[in-house]
Structure 1
Amino acid sequence: MRTIYRFSFFVTVALLVVGCRAQAADRPISASVVEAMRAPDDAVFARAYAPRTFEFPRDHGAHPEYRTEWWYYTGNLTAADGTPFGFQLTFFRNALTPEMPERTSTLASNQVYMAHFALTDGGRGEHASFDRYSRGAGELAGAVGEPAYHVWLEDWRAAEVAPGVQHLSARATGADGPIAIDLTLRETRPPVLHGIDGLHQKGPEAGNASYYYSLVGLETTGTVTSAGRTFEVTGRSWMDHEFGTSALTAGAVGWDWFSIQFDNGAILMLYEIRLADGGVNPNIKGTLIWPDGVQQMVSEHDFELTPTGAWTSPRTGITYPSGWTLTLPALGIDLRITPLLADQEMDVSFIYWEGAIDVTGVMRGEAVTGQGYAELTGYGEQSTAYQR
């Protein structure tokens, strides 16, 4: 799910050991996402207690008084020859302290950054994933909202190039050659504020919440490079930005998160935090925007998510659900969700599954189609056989 649960103090400790940059192939020992987020919160950081007034582009930038923050981009793209692609580019910030101590070095920082980059090539049936780390100093990594929004980690970056227009770029080397994105994203809709005016509750505790908004319907053009071959692409992207100081509620074992952009203009974001007793966290709320623009919250009582299949990773041995039915009976929504590829496992510092999905179904009696992304964490973590 799109929460700040993915990057914690545990990660920061790992970063200090590993150094400024590492690739997953260089680290046989790594960390569990869920265990990382069970660390207790530090009371010295700011917390999200009440709705705030967002100002853009300022609030696209960093909020270092909060412990954790991330900027998350995904997109569903198509080449001129019909080849489908999906991409993920995410930047994470984690604070060691709420304020920067006095230091003389220009490389000193209390902010640690991590980034994930992935490309799914539906034509080749391949998914490639990469990660990087750095410190928020020396222009190695950072995020600013003014005078223009820009978040980066080395040469992976997202930057506002004109009002309502962003440029994304990232490049890495995969097993079969260069992997890259060079994309322009144009806003077509106002920001979506999740929860109560952007205050998104994570648990029953006061302050166990984040500030969370999305940019959806981002018209996307540009190029993707897969196995050294470059394609002109078009499609739609989704940006999430979330910041806060919170932790997983006791008993949480993982989450299943979905974002869907429908061809009729509807938008859906929802997720479940799975609990060890077989239940789900009752405090989580999703967001539904109808084709006419009316927005409403979705609770765990409103929907039923049922896996229709499973896939086991040949690398890690972890089994993930693969395909789902999603029904919201009271709202007249009945959907079938299919991964673009079964293997979209992120083989990086934290092993999880994140990938492009296709959606078909019915909404208020009308046939609908859509595309989006899903994120699955906590699978395989009951066994310590392969924890990152």
Structure 2
Amino acid sequence: MGTKCSGKVQMLGWLMGLLLLSACTSLTRPPTQVASANVVAALSGPTDHGFARAMAPRPLAFPRDHGAHPEYQTEWWYYTGVLEDEAGQLFGYQLTFFRTALEPDMPTRSSDLATNQVYMAHFALTDVAGGRHVSFERYSRGAGGLASATGEPTYQVWLEDWSVQQTAPGVVHMQAAAERDGEEVSVDLTLRETRPPVLHGVAGLSQKGPEPGNASYYYSLIGLETTGSVTRQGRTAQVQGRSWMDHEFGTSALSADAVGWDWFSIQLDDGMALMLAQIRTRDGGRLRDFHGTVIFPDNRQETVAADDFQLTVLDHWTSPNTGVTYPSGWQLELPRFDLTLQISPLLRDQEMQVSFVYWEGAVTVTGNRGEEPVQGIGYVELTGYGSEREGLQR
């Protein structure tokens, strides 16, 4: 997000949707970047009561619920992963699709391009050895075959030629390519499910604040076995690794005192995994309603409450492009799970240079589970930094 509507919470999925509504109604690329603090301000506004709300758990069935849920205002499909080539060099990637409904009802016009749905996508690649992170953004209307998402009979989500498409049960093919300064950047990957879906919150109902309906439906596919190729700087490398997919949909808004969030997905080599997020507030605290999930190697899962974890910032990094200062390294302690982790960016500069600025990047994880050392990989999303309301001390 997570943000992710972010960038996955992101990443709370609905953040991007509200930004998209305000910045992209014309379906053209915004001429200037918008500070991430303004995204949080937009997300704090009222919601349209003509849309469905996430009030109680609902049955989720797949692949049907991998598809779009247009009765809800916002939705995202968020893929991240850490990959390694044959020489041992590491890459991180993000491909996220965001959907927002501009109004609850479809327009009555007969045109094939008439729609109340707008899509946005973010694509980013981190080349760790090359010390480079590049990011791209696209918008399109959800009509005329330009962008959409379906779950039945098979799952696919796409925006023009950026796509994720099911090729067999539990298997998808991902493609995205873009150009920067004459250089092609692309991923061509196959992702295979190895574990059952993780339903966050209460059977997939993830509360984002104390208000009724301030929630979303949120699940993840973790441990996605990933193979394929990455192209950058004129070279194509064969890669393999692990990916993580988040899908979230709802009609919601941040509580009025929220200023941003920190979202983490972690996959340890011993099979334990973790999704964790904190929504930061103006007074330097965090909302207690949104938390996380621990997934054990045998696929059992337990909810992580606000009192279950302590997150300590170990370092900061200031962007030379925006002047925004972000946390850049953390210690995460979960005493109830006998887990202590150190989380470090694979590259400090993984700032997303899109229509609003946020930090989304690949991380490496080390630490201990009881007396046993553990290690793994993950992704982190940071939004709302740079806001004068909260300072830069988190």
TM-score, structure 1 normalization: 0.95
Q: Is the 8 A contact 2:76 2:98 kept in 1?
A: yes
Q: Is the 8 A contact 1:337 1:357 kept in 2?
A: yes
Residue 293 of structure 1 deviates from its aligned partner by 2.3
Deviations 1:108-153 (A, max 9, x none): 1100100000000011010000000010001111111111111000
Name the residue aligned to 1:7: 16
SS at match of 2:23: helix
**Distance (Å, rounded) in 1 between the aligned partners of 2:375 and 2:33:** 41
Q: For 1:27, give the aligned amino acid.
A: T
**Distance (Å, rounded) in 2 between the aligned partners of 1:233 and 1:154:** 25
Name the residue aligned to 2:9: none
Q: Is the 8 A contact 2:310 2:332 kept in 1?
A: yes
Deviations 1:196-225 (A, max 9, x none): 110101111111110000000000000001
**Distance (Å, rounded) in 1 between the aligned partners of 2:156 and 2:133:** 27
Q: Does residue 128 of structure 2 align to residue 91 of structure 1?
A: no
Q: Does residue 287 of structure 2 align to residue 281 of structure 1?
A: yes
21, 24, 48: which is aligned to 2:54?
A: 48
**Distance (Å, rounded) in 2 between the aligned partners of 1:329 and 1:16:** 46
Aligned-residue sequence identity (percent) comes to 60
Residue 97 of structure 1 deviates from its aligned partner by 1.8
**Distance (Å, rounded) in 2 between the aligned partners of 1:310 and 1:324:** 10
**Distance (Å, rounded) in 2 between the aligned partners of 1:79 and 1:30:** 35
Deviations 1:239-290 (A, max 9, x none): 0000000100111011000000010000100011000011100101200012
**Distance (Å, rounded) in 1 between the aligned partners of 2:199 and 2:277:** 16
Residue 383 of structure 1 deviates from its aligned partner by 7.4
SS at match of 1:102: coil
SS at match of 1:264: coil
Task: Give the 3 Å change call, closer, same or farther, for CA 263–172 of structure 1 in structure 2.
Answer: same
Flag structure 2 segments of 5+ consecutive residues without an equivalent: 3-11
Q: Does residue 373 of structure 2 align to residue 367 of structure 1?
A: yes
Residue 176 of structure 1 deviates from its aligned partner by 6.3
Name the residue aligned to 1:259: 265
Q: After superposition, where does 1:49-68 map in structure 2 within 5 Å? A: 49-68=55-74
**Count of residue correspondences:** 380
**Distance (Å, rounded) in 2 between the aligned partners of 1:29 and 1:75:** 26
Name the residue aligned to 1:16: 25
Name the residue aligned to 1:144: 150
Q: Is the 8 A contact 1:143 1:150 kept in 2?
A: yes
Deviations 1:338-364 (A, max 9, x none): 000000000101100000000000012
Q: After superposition, where does 1:177-196 map in structure 2 within 5 Å? A: 177-196=183-202
SS at match of 2:308: coil
Name the residue aligned to 2:32: 27
Residue 174 of structure 1 deviates from its aligned partner by 2.1
Residue 10 of structure 1 deviates from its aligned partner by 4.2
Name the residue aligned to 1:39: 45
**Distance (Å, rounded) in 2 between the aligned partners of 1:61 and 1:53:** 14
Name the residue aligned to 2:220: 214
Q: For 2:32, give the aligned amino acid.
A: R
Name the residue aligned to 1:205: 211
**Distance (Å, rounded) in 1 between the aligned partners of 2:344 and 2:290:** 24
Deviations 1:46-104 (A, max 9, x none): 01111111111110000000000000000010000011000000000000122212111
Q: After superposition, where does 1:205-244 map in structure 2 within 5 Å? A: 205-244=211-250
**Distance (Å, rounded) in 1 between the aligned partners of 2:106 and 2:18:** 16
**Distance (Å, rounded) in 1 between the aligned partners of 2:19 and 2:83:** 34
Residue 366 of structure 1 deviates from its aligned partner by 1.2
**Distance (Å, rounded) in 2 between the aligned partners of 1:8 and 1:290:** 32
Q: Does residue 338 of structure 2 align to residue 329 of structure 1?
A: no
**Distance (Å, rounded) in 1 between the aligned partners of 2:385 and 2:65:** 33
**Distance (Å, rounded) in 1 between the aligned partners of 2:46 and 2:282:** 19
Q: Is the 8 A contact 1:9 1:96 kept in 2?
A: no
**Distance (Å, rounded) in 1 between the aligned partners of 2:116 and 2:102:** 5
Name the residue aligned to 1:376: 382
Q: Is the 8 A contact 1:7 1:36 kept in 2?
A: no
Flag structure 1 segments of 5+ consecutive residues without an equivalent: none
352, 376, 379: which is aligned to 1:346?
A: 352
Q: For 2:275, give the aligned amino acid.
A: M
Cα RMSD for the two superposed structures = 1.5
Name the residue aligned to 1:112: 118
Deviations 1:273-332 (A, max 9, x none): 000011100101200012232210001111111111110000000000100100012221
Name the residue aligned to 1:164: 170
**Distance (Å, rounded) in 1 between the aligned partners of 2:164 and 2:373:** 35
SS at match of 2:95: strand
119, 125, 134: which is aligned to 2:131?
A: 125
Q: For 1:107, give the aligned amino acid.
A: L
Q: Does residue 362 of structure 2 align to residue 356 of structure 1?
A: yes
**Distance (Å, rounded) in 1 between the aligned partners of 2:105 and 2:65:** 19
**Distance (Å, rounded) in 2 between the aligned partners of 1:227 and 1:146:** 38
